């Protein structure tokens, strides 16, 4: 369950962003639409605990994360938040398998071979598990990004423009993957985008 109340944030020497309240029940998904510069990524980073709001609060499963100190917030984010980026970011010196291992290690989630093998299989990455990320195709890299966002079974999956640079076919595929992984993790899925193509895939939409 996710609740936000009166969230606002301002960058140094810049206009303030005031965000509408959000309330999601368990397993509920939300699509946040908005034009560039409206503060979509800022909202996503606030929900991820990467940014701290000047005002307002964020409550996830009855825990007010805006009240956590830096150390506790790091731990909370690592265990409960999964981030999926438009351009997948990975550790370039590690293989696909090792990237997933590192994800679990830094999240302080015990690394189980079976968990990693399962997600590799689900996302059709088993064959490339020993390859370095720079040898993967765009599609494989994107699936790896999703795997990194969900392998630790987070409570909230946050995806930032996951379909913007994809064609229609791959756009559908990525949304289906994200939904199915959110279901498997029993997590809330929040996607922020300006991509209108996926509007119909979600019942719950918020326009900034």
Partner 1 sequence: MNIVKLSYKNIATKPLQTFLTVLILSLSIGLLLGVKQLNKVFESQLQQSLNGVDMVVGAKGSPLQLVLSAVLHIDNPTGNISFTEAKKIAKGRYIEEAIPISIGDNYKGYKLVGTTLGFIDLHKTSLENGKVFEKPFEVILGNAVAKNLNLKVGDTFNSAHGMIENALESHDENPLKVVGILKSTQNVIDRLIVTNLESIWHMHEHENSSEVHNHEDDEITALLVKFSNKMGLLRLPRMINKDTQFQAALPKYELDKLFQFTAIATKSITWIAFAILFVSGISMFVSLYRMVKERAKELALVRTYGASRNTLIKLVFSQGFIIGMFSYIIGVLLAFFGIQAVFTSVKNTYKQQIYLLEFPQDILELLLFIFGIIIIATLMAIRPIFKMDISKILSNEN
Chain positions contacting partner 1, by CB under 8 A: 41-42, 45, 48, 50-51, 70-71, 74-79, 81, 83, 85-87, 89-94, 98, 101-108, 111, 160-161
DSSP 114-138: HHHHHHHHHTT-GGGTTS-GGGS-H
- In this structure, how many other beta carbons lie within 10 angstroms of the beta carbon of residue 32? 25
Cβ of residue 122: shortest distance to partner 1, in angstroms? 20
Nearest to 155 by CA among 207, 123, 195, 190: 190
Cβ of residue 183: shortest distance to partner 1, in angstroms? 23
Of 125 and 158, CB closest to partner 1: 158
Cβ of residue 140: shortest distance to partner 1, in angstroms? 18
The pair phi, psi for residue 16, each rounded to 5°, is -85, 150
Distance CA 162, CA 122 (A): 18
Of 74 and 117, CB closest to partner 1: 74
Of 85 and 202, CB closest to partner 1: 85
């Amino acid at each position: 369950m996710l609740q936000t109340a009166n969230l606002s944030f301002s960058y140094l020497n810049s206009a303030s962003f005031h965000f509408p309240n959000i309330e999601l029940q368990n397993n509920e998904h939300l699509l946040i639409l908005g034009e560039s510069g409206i503060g979509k990524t800022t909202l996503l980073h606030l929900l991820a605990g990467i940014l701290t709001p000047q005002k307002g609060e964020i409550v996830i499963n009855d825990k007010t994360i805006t009240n956590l100190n830096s150390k506790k917030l790091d731990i909370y984010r690592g265990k409960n938040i999964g981030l999926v980026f438009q351009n997948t970011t990975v550790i370039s010196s590690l293989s696909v398998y090792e990237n997933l291992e590192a994800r679990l290690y830094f999240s302080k989630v015990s690394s189980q071979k079976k968990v990693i093998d399962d997600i590799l299989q689900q996302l059709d990455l088993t064959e490339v598990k020993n390859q370095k990320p720079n040898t993967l195709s765009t599609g494989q890299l994107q699936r790896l990004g999703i795997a990194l966002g969900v392998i630790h079974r987070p409570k909230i999956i946050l995806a930032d423009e996951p379909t913007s640079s994809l064609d229609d076919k791959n756009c559908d595929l990525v949304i289906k993957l994200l939904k199915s992984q959110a279901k498997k993790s029993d997590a809330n899925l929040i996607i922020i985008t300006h991509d209108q193509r996926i509007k119909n895939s979600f019942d719950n939409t918020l326009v900034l």
